[in-house]
Structure 1
Amino acid sequence: VVQSLASSAHATTLEGGAQTISLFPTASQLAIKQLGINGGGVFGVNSAHPLENPTPLTTLITAISVNVMGWAAFFAFGRSVMAKKEVRALVVAAFLMLGAAGAALYVIESQPAPALVAADVSTSAGNMEGKEVRFGVPASVAWATQTTGASNGSVNSMHASYMPLGGAVTMFLMQLGEILPGGIGSGIAVMVLMAMLAVFVAGLMVGRTPEYLGKKIEAREIQFAMFVVLIVPLSVLGFSAVAAVLPEALAGLLNKGPHGLSEILYAYTSATGNNGSAFAGLSANAPWWDTTLGLAMLLGRFVPAVAVLAVAGALVAKPRLAPSAGTLPTHGPLFIGLLIGVILILGGLQFFPALSLGPIVEHFDMLQFMARF
């Protein structure tokens, strides 16, 4: 269908050369791509292409489209289970983490590129490598934050060209399980499981059986929740460990050393999270990468779905309990802080060692390079 709809136009440049311009009914596909959080672009450079995303206004509209259905799923869930206050707490927690990630990414990318510093070229634009000049750093990092917080792989800048810590931020947003707000329905599903783990931790602290949304959270529910929490690091780190030593996998890397490891980590993180974006240097069209990335997508999509359904089935059979004096309120600032802590500790403990060997090492290499000038 794509081939039948695609066409091209031939133009003569001002210098007298010939140029072939790819054409496509882009507008009709862009709405599906962004609202459906698919992320696959009809042009090779995705939403950085001027025929797909020509102005800051289209950037704003399409970036909002990425998240509107994911956030709507949060509020739809709150209405369906009659727990609006509890779900608002989940929204606040997700929004705070997403905002903090976006702010960090902006600070990181606002710094000048090391090569410009070495060449003694002053610039106030920040790191513009891999970014469109019509968007600049602000629109680029805002897009990167939203598309990695959701399971949407569209890009308007090249994440592989970000500063090392900038690439780490985009990876970490996906490694959290893409719950900020994540996919349509899948983000709220995983966030509810994180909330269950948070009340479970609180219950252990005070020695009471934890409750969430009026249901007792017992061993069975926590076991299924842990399937969801553990499948992401199992897939990402397991496949990455093998790929880091396998010659067939290493042949697809553009870069060696820490950035090469970042390419591997990003690929499996994106595939497991069903995001779809990539570090552009990796040539993944090879039997090893096609097979293992496909398996990572299957693990990341279907194992959490089955586990969430199992949790739902276990909870629906339990009676709804009235709040008591020992029930932890799950709609206030205390719970929001506890939930954020559980999410970050789980993500940090699972992925920080791997990130330390990839983007964090690359960051210190960059600092050492800049110190020479």
Structure 2
Amino acid sequence: MTIAGWALILSFVGVLLALTKPVGLWLFALYEGRRTPLHHVLGPVENGFYRLAGIDPAAQQGWRRYAVHMLLFNTALLALTYVVLRLQGVLPGNPQGLAGLSPDLAFNTAVSFTTNTNWQSYGGEGTMSNLSQMLGLTIQNFLSAATGIALAFALFRGFARREAAAVGNFWADVTRITLYLLLPLCVVLTLFYIAGGVPQTLGGVVDVTTLEGARKTILLGPVASQEAIKMLGTNGGGFFNANSAHPFENPTALTNFIQMLSIFVIGFGLTWTFGRAVGNTRQGWAILAAMVILFLAGVSVAYAQEAAGNPVLHQLGVAGGNMEGKEARFGIAASALFSVITTAASCGAVNAMHDSFTALGGMIPMLNIQLGEVVIGGVGAGIYGFLLFAILAVFVAGLMVGRTPEYVGKKIEAREVKLAVLAIAVLPLIILGFTALSSMLAPGLAGPLNKGPHGFSEILYAFSSAVGNNGSAFAGLTANTPYYNALLGIAMWLGRFFVIVPMLAIAGSLAAKKHVPESAGSFPTTGGLWVGMLIGIILILGGLTFLPSLALGPIADHLAMIRGQLF
């Protein structure tokens, strides 16, 4: 590890902390439905959409209606994307003449982008036409991200409202988030990426002559616009197969830094928005403190392991850290930092190949996902996932002091605790169940590139990524098969919506309750003890659940490496 590496990590966190309140204020304005400076320009567009769709943005929805509209909307988006991908070969915007996707790959990809997972079982530039990238995928990047933030707003209202029957209006939330947050920021980021060397064109290919005199064909397309929302919306799906390790997606150290900021900035801001919504910004700062501590702990381990390198290679005379699978443009520190960021959020973009990390260095991205991706997390999904753990933490605190637990002025009772447990239990149940199934069946065992614990890690990572709606991969798994396309697609859908529906039920239950003023017997939820308890609950419920599987995979891989054995 180097001073320069730690300077990069600490400056990254410092910039985000400085942006937290400004971004949180903007999000709070959207949460409340207040006017912003952009309403002068985009207000007519918003109102025109409502008139065209026959929507009354002032009409409030109970949690059930909110959930039904959200599910119908996402199902329709899934169907649209599936049709576009299947018919790609006969649709325009296909300068390379690429064929339509097979049914299983189209299903997997449509589910992936609908659920904000953006898992890619295909090579982007060699499989998707420009039209598919824009109409089938980029639109999903906007709307799946907007859906996540809207759902966070619904849960915020559950905590903030008193004896209310509604948690907001799904259509108004999604429209405002898209128009006044995601779209303007993406325009700015797109222009920045173009200036930095990222292509933005509807042309398909360009032929060039290399320095050696050979003729090469370079694939191009609308890359910069997809790159902007891919990062900001914590989507992660790359235009190119190499994702953000490709120089056309991520040309310089500056674009790399901005991409990392983009992944986290909305998640940071939402913590402040939550505090403001419940009338106490210290609540939001406490949540952010727990997130940042977990994040820095993960970065420290990943960076230390990658900087230490592989002892087996050291014995062969190859000194230094582990540069396998990493871009020389970024190096070890930026690659390790990016890997922890993209898996602490549900982004999945990569600038280095996680399969080539050391065993424990690669375990940290996997563990980030298995914790529920609540260490900042995806846009919206991170904060509402974290609040589920907060409900359990305050329940445990209530048991210790012998009182009915309360959190930000709402009594946490049996219904909320049961729903929170149900939502949290979805991840380990599906991840471990599908991993076990794939570790026994022939189609599942045909996927891993490696044998032994590393091969098991490839399967475990794939289902962790799918159920956690992350989308990154260990890269050694051959996933473009009917078996993995189908099973991973089902895992992505269950991992997204089997968490959302119980969460919305909690929002509806909390909104209907009275506000309970804080008293001398209330457990304080803004200090260091609360932050420590949140971290402990997340590590116990999230971490220990997966410890046996991690012992079979990356931990066993690490112990074998120490003994001089590589898989």
Q: TM-score, normalised by structure 1?
A: 0.96
In the other structure, the counterpart of 1:49 is 246
Question: Which of 270, 275, 283 does residue 78 from structure 1 map onto?
Answer: 275
In the other structure, the counterpart of 1:144 is 339
What are the residue-to-residue correspondences of 1:116-195 with 2, within 5 Å? 116-123=313-320, 126-195=321-390
In the other structure, the counterpart of 1:254 is 449
Q: Is the contact between residue 117 and residue 370 of structure 1 (CA under 8 Å) also seen in structure 2?
A: no
Shift of 1:249: 1.0
In the other structure, the counterpart of 2:121 is none
Q: 1:369 is paired with a residue of what secondary structure? A: coil
In the other structure, the counterpart of 2:234 is 37
Shift of 1:157: 0.2
In the other structure, the counterpart of 1:205 is 400
Shift of 1:16: 3.1
Q: Is the contact between residue 312 and residue 564 of structure 2 (CA under 8 Å) also seen in structure 1?
A: no
What are the residue-to-residue correspondences of 1:336-355 with 2, within 5 Å? 336-355=531-550
Cα distance in 1, alignment partners of residues 565 and 413 from structure 2: 53
Question: Which of 416, 419, 427 does residue 221 from structure 1 map onto?
Answer: 416
Bigger mean CA offset, 204-213 vs 1-10: 1-10
Cα distance in 1, alignment partners of residues 409 and 454 from structure 2: 47
What are the residue-to-residue correspondences of 1:304-315 with 2, within 5 Å? 304-315=499-510
Question: Which of 505, 514, 518 does residue 323 from structure 1 map onto?
Answer: 518
Cα distance in 2, alignment partners of residues 16 and 104 from structure 1: 45
In the other structure, the counterpart of 1:87 is 284
Q: 1:276 is paired with a residue of what secondary structure? A: coil
1:102 correspondence with 2:299? yes
In the other structure, the counterpart of 1:281 is 476
Cα distance in 2, alignment partners of residues 34 and 281 from structure 1: 23
1:240 correspondence with 2:240? no
Bigger mean CA offset, 18-27 vs 280-289: 18-27
Question: Which of 207, 218, 221 does residue 10 from structure 1 map onto?
Answer: 207
Task: Map Cα deviations across residues 47-105 of structure 1 (whole Å, 9 max, x no partner).
Answer: 00111111111100111001111222222222222231112100100011001101111
Cα distance in 2, alignment partners of residues 81 and 187 from structure 1: 18
Cα distance in 2, alignment partners of residues 167 and 351 from structure 1: 15
Q: Is the contact between residue 448 and residue 455 of structure 2 (CA under 8 Å) also seen in structure 1?
A: yes
Cα distance in 1, alignment partners of residues 560 and 216 from structure 2: 40
Shift of 1:6: 5.2
Q: Is the contact between residue 47 and residue 154 of structure 1 (CA under 8 Å) also seen in structure 2?
A: yes
Q: Is the contact between residue 210 and residue 216 of structure 2 (CA under 8 Å) also seen in structure 1?
A: yes
Question: Which of 493, 497, 506 does residue 302 from structure 1 map onto?
Answer: 497
Shift of 1:18: 2.8
Q: Is the contact between residue 118 and residue 370 of structure 1 (CA under 8 Å) also seen in structure 2?
A: no
1:265 maps to amino acid: L
Q: 2:377 is paired with a residue of what secondary structure? A: coil
Bigger mean CA offset, 205-214 vs 236-245: 205-214
C-alpha root-mean-square deviation of aligned residues, in Å? Answer: 1.4
Q: 2:285 is paired with a residue of what secondary structure? A: helix
Q: 1:20 is paired with a residue of what secondary structure? A: strand
Cα distance in 2, alignment partners of residues 231 and 254 from structure 1: 28
Cα distance in 2, alignment partners of residues 329 and 368 from structure 1: 48
1:251 maps to amino acid: A
Q: 1:21 is paired with a residue of what secondary structure? A: strand
1:29 maps to amino acid: Q
Cα distance in 1, alignment partners of residues 527 and 252 from structure 2: 40
2:281 maps to amino acid: K
Q: Is the contact between residue 70 and residue 187 of structure 1 (CA under 8 Å) also seen in structure 2?
A: yes
Identical amino acids, percent of aligned pairs: 52
2:374 maps to amino acid: I
In the other structure, the counterpart of 2:224 is 27
Shift of 1:316: 1.1
Cα distance in 2, alignment partners of residues 79 and 208 from structure 1: 26
Q: Is the contact between residue 423 and residue 499 of structure 2 (CA under 8 Å) also seen in structure 1?
A: yes
Please identify runs of 4+ aligned residues in structure 1 that moved more than 3 A.
none
In the other structure, the counterpart of 1:363 is 558
Q: Is the contact between residue 78 and residue 87 of structure 1 (CA under 8 Å) also seen in structure 2?
A: yes
Cα distance in 2, alignment partners of residues 302 and 121 from structure 1: 47
2:239 maps to amino acid: V
2:471 maps to amino acid: G
1:112 correspondence with 2:334? no
2:412 maps to amino acid: I
Q: Is the contact between residue 113 and residue 128 of structure 1 (CA under 8 Å) also seen in structure 2?
A: no
Cα distance in 1, alignment partners of residues 319 and 387 from structure 2: 47
Shift of 1:360: 0.3
2:263 maps to amino acid: V
Task: Map Cα deviations across residues 131-159 of structure 1 (whole Å, 9 max, x no partner).
Answer: 00110001101111110000101000000
1:3 maps to amino acid: S
Q: 1:224 is paired with a residue of what secondary structure? A: helix
Shift of 1:220: 0.6
Shift of 1:115: 4.7
Unaligned runs of 5+ in 1: none
Unaligned runs of 5+ in 2: 1-92, 94-127, 131-201
1:37–1:6 CA distance, 2 compared to 1 (3 A): farther
Q: Is the contact between residue 312 and residue 561 of structure 2 (CA under 8 Å) also seen in structure 1?
A: no
Shift of 1:370: 7.0
Q: 2:342 is paired with a residue of what secondary structure? A: helix
Cα distance in 1, alignment partners of residues 382 and 543 from structure 2: 19
